[in-house]
Chain A
Amino acid sequence: MSDLLHLLENTPFTSDLCVKCNICTAHCTVAPHTDLFPGPKHVGPQAQRMRQPGAPSVDHSVDYCSGCGICTLVCPHGVRVMEINTQAKAAMVETHGISLRNWFLGRNEVWGRLGTPFAPLLNFGTGNRVLRWAAEKTFRVSARAPLPRWAGYTFRGWWVRRQARRGIRGEKAAEACDPARTVVYFHGCATNAYEPHVGRTAIAVLEHLGFEVIVPPLRCCGLPMQSNGDFKAARHYARENVAWLEPYARRGIPIVGTAASCMMALKGDYIHILNMSDAATQAVAAGVWDFMEFLRHLHTIGRLDTNFRRIDRRLPYHAPCQLKAHGIGRPALDVLALIPGLEMEEIDADCCGICGTYGFKAEKRAISEAVGQPIVEHVRAGGHDQVVCDTETCRWQIRSLTGAETFHPVMLIAEAYGLRMAEIDDPPRQPGA
């Protein structure tokens, strides 16, 4: 790595590259919808020149940055605008502390797990207008926010029980794995508590392709804490994950996940936002794959089973901001194009507006809904009742805004392979396995 790269890989220093051209301002998803946000150039590289490291934060308006990251993507000069903003939010938290609401929203992992035994009660509560109104008044969590429904069981619990049925306890150590036939699956908190079927389907697809799947007891990726400025907590979780994953990454065993945003945290945010530049974090980042990216890679090397059943449907696809930030194109579109009959159309929308926990906040809910309007228009104009999307919170937002059913592209892959949930629970033995 050259000296320049090293210096300008340091997020705050990328403000040196800004020529003030306003491309980021023109494409900001939030600024057109609120007077409280002066735009990414203003709170990003421009304010960064005036920020003194270690001095108390003087920022307020950067709180309205949703963190969608479109600014970083469109910048032709290499300024990490969104990353600068996220670090500025962390400095605000360091100066003023974190609000109870934001602390709470960052603890997705805990609430997901703790809530599981009480799923019916909680699902009633989150679906009840009066209770939601009360929650908005007391906790400033929007009554219109698309809160998920607890599944009543966790992916992790299902996995441990399934392994136990097969007489397996704990996860195989990296040294014992065959790198060519093993995959580590990172499920993330939302899959764990709210959408375990996505994780089960992913396992089924990976096993169908002949991989042995390992699911280490990983923690929250840290993203919800990071985007609420709680870097201390986010780094704590990040370090635990890196420690778990490093041995697998070093052995060349792919780390694959269906939550595109968590995978981006592992690939990029730990380094560029949380400033974890150690070799272990870099090694893990190089070994992480978005699920669909991994399937596309298998296809490139001739290992993807393309014996797909026909699916005669035309479906809209929304590429989440976090997936765009991977810089891997649209792997879901590339892979789904292999399924006969299936036609995908990418929605021309920069962001759905949810941005992790942003759209859950009462004072930001209206902005969040306005940002998502292009998706609503696309779905309505096309008369669609299904939307495909790679991340959980975006799916909940799109479902809430459009009324359409939303699902991860892996569900289409499973359908095209003819995999059924019953088989996923207890899959038949692979020949030769």
Chain B
Amino acid sequence: MANLACDVLVIGGGATGVCAAYDLARRGLQVILADRNDLSTGTSGRFHGLLHSGGRYAVRDPESARECIAENRILRRIAPGIVEDTGGVFVAAPQDPPDYADQWVTACAAAGIETEEIAIPALRRREPALRPDLVRAFRVPDGSVDGFDLGHAFSRAAESYGARFLLYHRVTALAYTTDGMRATLNSADGTAVVVEARWVLNAGGPWAGEIAALAGHDLRVRWSRGVMIAMNIRWVNTVVNRLRPPDDGDIVVPVGTVSVIGTTSVAASSPDDNTIEPWEVSKMLDEGEALIAGFRTARALRAWSGVRPLYEPPGAAEEGADGRGLKRTFSVVRHGPGFTSVLGGKLTTARLMAEKAADDVCAGLGVDAPCTTAAEPLPAGTERRYHTLGHRLALLESGKMPGALICECEMITRPQLEEAIAAYDHVPALDDLRRDLRLGMGPCQGGFCAVRAAGILRQARDLPASEAVEALRVFVAERFKGGRPLLWGQHLRQFLLDEMIYRRILGLDACGDSRPAASLSLPPWATDETPIPAAAGQRVVVIGAGLAGLAAAVHAVQAGARVRVLAAGLGRLILTPGWFALGTFAAHPGVEAFRRWAAGQDLIRLAEGGRLPSLLGIPRTVDLAPEGLAAGAIDGATPVLIVGFAGWRDFDAALCSGMLAAAGVSCRAVSIDLPPRHEGWDLSPTELAHRFDDPAFRAEVAQRVRARLNGEARVGFPAVLGLHDPRVRAEMAAWIGVPVFEVPTLTPSVPGTRLYNTLKRWLLRQGAQVQVGHPVTRLIVEGDRVTGVAVASAGRETIFPGDAFILATGGLYGGGLLSDDRGHVWEPIAGLAVMAGDDRTAWFRDTLLDPAGHPVHTFGLRVDEALRPLNETGHPVCANLTVAGHALGGFSPLAGGYDEGLDLASAYAAVRAALQA
């Protein structure tokens, strides 16, 4: 048990606590701040980021308004690095009370808040996302502030005056002593610390009541929960407030890279109540719509809820159950000699709350040093301008941020991560690095950066591979929790992509191995072995350029048809590891036909699969694989060398080798330097593969690998051994002297790209047309036949005629199905009947990597026994329109282990049925 002594113990590392620690330390007192968690993990890290001008409170709560505008000006002066001067605007929508504006302007003037009316067209030139039908708008001096930045800046400032921070220390006992108080703290690792303080300042926010109770005081804090949603991009660059009496969802704040809409106000059951009710999400979107037309369909990135600590001084009147009516001013309560609590308020006034609380503490201690926090800026070096928009991009572009870019969305480099990891005296969780740097907080939510960061963590702390993989699993689970309330539309597609990466490329789950799914009974189209009829001269239009669409095009060409492939964009091929999971469909004639076709293509010749290593070295059982991947089949006997490239972010040889070793493979990793390059931008897998097409480059690499060989009988590389040249792997094997195989990388997958390139080139050579960037928007139907499809071309639509049509547009990931926040799933081209559950909360199971997959995976089109899509009455829409691939409903290809099997089998059957019609 350690014993510490100080003048003041501040409990709570939120905004008020760190400001108080800074204030008291500046007055010459010895300060210790303790928090049961990290800084800013309570309300201060769970708000919308608004630095209030006070306009929001001007009418109802003029005292708060005056405090806000004063503190707003002070904070801009003393800590300019944590404030973004976005400016703010109050806008009235048509449905808002018309007389409120004038009342509000008067109240703002009385509170000293400057306002200026701005014409709506002028406002929309600055903020084109705002609705054109807004009625009035006024500028105010709002700003935005990042709660984590504020915590870091003030804590560093406090430290520079000698304050000490005990984070992850929970106060378990508080007792009065003769000359102050004694606090017992329990650290995260279980050790107890006793702090003898002359005074204790309780800045516990929503937990202040619990803390006061430790010393036997009754402090009634009202908890009011508010939900906020961070939208993926900055829809506005100015804080936008609704010009109406404060209500739910009437503020949009641009903070860093996102814009945050807030918030609800609901009585919470406890200070830890972080519930997010679906209605609250809906409410935010509805209110956003009143400001920005189309807001519902914009991408929501993260939702969180924070608990406001509202204080009711004894005897105050009840003002509504939700707490919206309670004032936002604060109170300083002296419980007894040596114990003060500070309560209420808001982040904007944190410094003022700290000042008044510190005044009370100092009065109690007989210290007469005045508060100086408002007068002088924070000490130099305590602020870092990391989180402002554009800063990281500027550093990257000017070459001042060297090293591999690990988190691409939020622009974090390898040296930054290494520095952040080094700052911990324990092995940090990836989630700690997230709070430090915003790791994984951008659109992909960790899909790409998490595995890279896990590799860096492994290297920096010399962890066993399995521990790094465990850290990755924890982070993945954590990110899914934050995203889950928002999984529809484009963010749903993001998580489906991330899930594919985690399951198929990384091999993070035990399921997804290709094996017959016991529950899947094959539909009639999949057991019909009739060949595809000859189709000379028929015009076949395939919609979609994924594996199903392109395989269908191959079959149609082979049947003699004139084929046109139209696709909105490319399909999932380059997002797959490159191997084939066939499962139940392994023996289907479509699979056989595709294998025969592939046998003639040097670059992608297929071999029997086996147990192949994933990017993380986790064995995956696959049915079929390009020869380069298949050569990596795990046999347990031959020692293997896994080769990585120094500084290349998309493959960590040591992680792969470590996990392979754990699976019983005799394995070693080496990292070799790539032949020198001119500049520092990261190479994507396809760009690196392009370099291997150069014989001199690959000879150099082979020579370097050969020099590191130590008796290994096989060498594994990331799958980058040539993009176009089929000879690369064989040549390298000859030079190195042992067989060479490939291991999948993060996307873009080179094996998948090779497959797409080969398919497209073959089709063009056969005279087929392959046109991407051609989104089909509707079918032209005459009677019971489709006669053409309309494409949204530049300027107007273009009709492409045909005799038979294959719909291979994919499922919810591919864009063949769309979804919205209300749980509606639809097929956008023809409004076809969809199999889907309409309760959005049931689309996913609780954990992303659940071996059973998710109900959402089975959503797709309803078809008859000949793959013809049905309409809502259960009848085929048209005789000559059939469906192939992941657009089909009722299957669970990812978890069932038949991703490619479904594509190849249905492509064949769909062409057969469409040509028979």
Residue positions of A touching B, CB distance < 8 A: 2-4, 6-8, 10, 13, 15-23, 25-27, 31-32, 35-39, 41-42, 46-55, 58-61, 72-78, 264, 266-268, 285-288, 293, 300, 324-330, 333, 345-348
- Do B687 and A328 touch (CB < 8 A)? no
Q: How many A-B residue pairs have CB under 8 A?
A: 213
Q: Are A58 and B393 in contact (CB under 8 A)?
A: yes
Q: Check if B319 is an interface residue, CB within 8 A of chain A.
A: no
Assembled-state Cα–Cα distance A324/B773 (Å): 8
Are A26 and B753 in contact, with the CB atoms below 8 A? yes
**Residues from chain B with Cβ under 8 Å of A21 in the complex:** 497, 574-575, 747-748
Bound: A73/B773 CA distance, A: 4
Does chain A have a CB within 8 A of B392?
yes
B681 contacts A76, C-beta separation under 8 Å: no
Note all chain A residues with C-beta closer than 8 A to B684: 22, 25-26, 31, 39
Q: Which residue on B lies nearest to A73, using beta carbons?
A: B773
Q: Which of B232, B389, B793 has the most CB of A within 10 A?
A: B793
Q: Which residue of B lies closest to A287 (CB)?
A: B795
Let me know if B570 is at the binding interface, CB within 8 A. Answer: yes
Q: How far is the CA of A120 from the CA of B389 in the complex (A)?
A: 54
7 residue pairs A–B, Cβ–Cβ below 8 Å? A35-B679, A49-B234, A73-B773, A76-B568, A78-B568, A325-B794, A327-B791
Q: Given contacts A7-B129, A16-B298, A61-B397, are A37 and B794 in contact (CB under 8 A)?
A: no
> In the bound complex, how far is the Cα of B680 from the Cα of A37, in angstroms?
10
Quick one: CB contact mask for B456-475 with A, threshold 8 Å, 1 for yes?
00000000000000000000
- What chain B residues lie within 8 Å of A59 (beta carbons)? 393, 397
Contacts of B567 in A (CB 8 A): 76
Known: A26-B753, A74-B570. A348 touches B795 (CB 8 A): no
B390 interfacial contact with A, CB 8 Å:
yes
Residues of A within 8 A of B760 (CB): 348
Chain B residues, Cβ within 8 Å of A47: 393
Closest B residue to A331 by beta carbon equals: B798
Task: Assess the B796–A75 pair: CB atoms within 8 A.
Answer: no
CA distance A37 to B679 in the complex (A): 10
Q: Does residue B119 face the partner (Cβ distance < 8 Å to A)?
A: no
A52 in contact with B237 given A7-B298, A20-B408, A26-B686 (CB within 8 Å): yes
9 nearest interchain CB pairs?
A: A73-B773, A76-B569, A26-B748, A7-B294, A327-B793, A3-B294, A58-B394, A268-B794, A267-B795
Q: Which residue of A lies closest to B411 (CB)?
A: A50
Q: State the CA gap A38–B687 with chains docked (Å).
A: 10
Instruction: Note all chain A residues with C-beta closer than 8 A to B447.
Output: 20
Given A38-B682, A348-B764; 20 other pairs, CB 8 A cutoff: A8-B294, A19-B444, A21-B574, A23-B575, A26-B753, A32-B691, A35-B679, A36-B679, A37-B681, A50-B257, A59-B393, A76-B571, A76-B815, A285-B794, A328-B794, A329-B566, A329-B771, A329-B774, A345-B765, A346-B769
**Bound form: Cα–Cα A96–B774 in Å:** 36
Question: In the complex the two chains form, what is the Cα distance from A50 to B237 in whole Å?
Answer: 11
Q: Are B257 and A19 in contact (CB-based, < 8 A)?
A: no
Instruction: Kindly state whether residue B374 has any CB partner on chain A within 8 Å.
Output: no
Contact of B795 among A286, A345, A346 (CB under 8 A): A286
Cβ proximity bits B494-527 to A, threshold 8 Å, 1 near / 0 not = 1001000000000000000000000000000000
- Which residues of the other chain, A, contact B796 by a CB distance below 8 angstroms? 285-286
Cα–Cα, bound, A36→B677 (Å): 11
Residues of B within 8 A of A10 (CB): 128-129
Instruction: Check if B574 sits within 8 Å of A50, measured CB to CB.
Output: no
Q: Mark B381-419, 1 if CB is under 8 A from A, else 0.
A: 000000001101110011000000100110100000000
Shortest Cβ distance from B820 into A: residue = A4
**A58 near B398 (CB under 8 angstroms)?**
yes
Contacts of A266 in B (CB 8 A): 795
Q: From residue 666 to 685 of chain B, which have CB atoms closer than 8 A to chain A?
A: 677-682, 684
- Of the candidates B569, B682, B686, B769, the one whose C-beta lies within 8 Å of that of A330 is B769
Instruction: State the CA gap A23–B815 with chains docked (Å).
Output: 15
Q: Closest CB of chain A to B514's CB: distance in Å?
A: 23
Selected from A50, A52, A326, the residue in CB contact (under 8 A) with B392 is: A50
CB of A74 within 8 A of CB of B443, answer: no
Q: Any chain A CB within 8 A of the CB of B800?
A: yes
Task: Give A264 to B235 CA distance when docked, in angstroms.
Answer: 29
Residue among A23, A293, A347 with the highest chain B CB neighbour number at 10 A: A23
Partner of A32 from B235, B569, B686, B769 at Cβ < 8 Å: B686
B566-608 at interface with A (beta carbon < 8 Å): 566-571, 574-575
* B393-A51 in contact (CB<8A): yes
| Complex alpha-carbon distance, A2 and B820, angstroms | 15
Closest to A8 in B: B294
A27 and B681: CB pair below 8 A?
no
Docked Cα-Cα span, A20 to B448, in Å, equals 8
Is B233 interfacial (CB 8 A cutoff)? yes
Q: Are B815 and A22 in contact (CB under 8 A)?
A: no
A316 to B769, CA, bound (A): 14
Q: Which residue of A lies closest to B395 (CB)?
A: A58
Contacts of B292 in A (CB 8 A): 7
Q: How far is the CA of A268 from the CA of B235 in the complex (A)?
A: 24
User: Complex: how many Å from CA A272 to CA B394?
Assistant: 26
A53 near B393: Cβ-Cβ < 8 Å: no
* Given A51-B390, A76-B814, residue A46 in contact with residue B294 (CB < 8 A): no
Q: Which residues of B contact A53 (CB under 8 A)?
A: 126, 237
State in angstroms the CA–CA spacing of A77 and B775 once bound together. Answer: 11
Q: Is the CB of A22 within 8 A of B795?
A: no
Question: B293 at interface (Cβ–Cβ under 8 A)?
Answer: yes
User: Cβ of B297 < 8 Å from any Cβ of A?
Assistant: yes
Cβ–Cβ < 8 Å partners of A6 in chain B: 293-294
Query: Does B17 make an interface contact (CB < 8 A)?
Result: no
B792 interface residue (CB < 8 Å to A): yes
A83 smallest CB distance to B (angstroms): 12
Least Cβ–Cβ distance between A325 and chain B, in angstroms: 7
A60 engages B398 (CB within 8 Å): yes
Q: Enumerate chain A residues within 8 angstroms of B234, measured Cβ to Cβ.
A: 49
- Return A44 CB to nearest CB of chain B, in Å: 12
> Considering the chains assembled together, what is the distance between the CA atoms of A16 and B232 in angstroms?
6
Q: In this assembly, does B493 line the interface, its C-beta being within 8 Å of a C-beta of chain A?
A: yes
Contact of A7 among B293, B390, B814 (CB under 8 A): B293
- What's the minimum C-beta distance from B143 to chain A, rounded to whole angstroms? 14
In the complex, which residues of chain B have a beta carbon less than 8 angstroms from the beta carbon of A37?
681
B691 to chain A minimum Cβ distance, whole angstroms, is 8
Chain B nearest CB from A375 CB (Å) reads 13
Which residue of the partner chain A has the closest CB to B257?
A: A49
| Chain B nearest CB, measured from A60 CB (Å) | 5
Is B334 in the interface zone, CB < 8 Å from A? Answer: no
Min distance, Cβ B397 to any Cβ of chain A, angstroms: 5
A75-B570 Cα distance, complex, nearest whole Å: 6
The residues of B that contact A329 with a CB separation of less than 8 Å are: 564, 566, 769, 771, 774, 791, 798, 800
Q: Are A327 and B681 in contact (CB under 8 A)?
A: no
Question: B679: nearest residue on chain A (CB-CB)?
Answer: A35
Question: A267 contacts which chain B residues (CB < 8 A)?
Answer: 793-795
Q: How far is the CA of A145 from the CA of B549 in the complex (A)?
A: 40
What per-residue 1/0 map shows which CB atoms of B157-196 lie under 8 Å from chain A? 0000000000000000000000000000000000000000
In the complex, the answer to whether A50 meets B294 with C-beta atoms within 8 Å is: no
Query: When the two chains form their complex, are residues B791 and A42 in contact, meaning their CB atoms are under 8 A apart?
Result: no
Tell which of A17, A50, A75, A346 has the most Cβ of chain B within 10 Å: A50
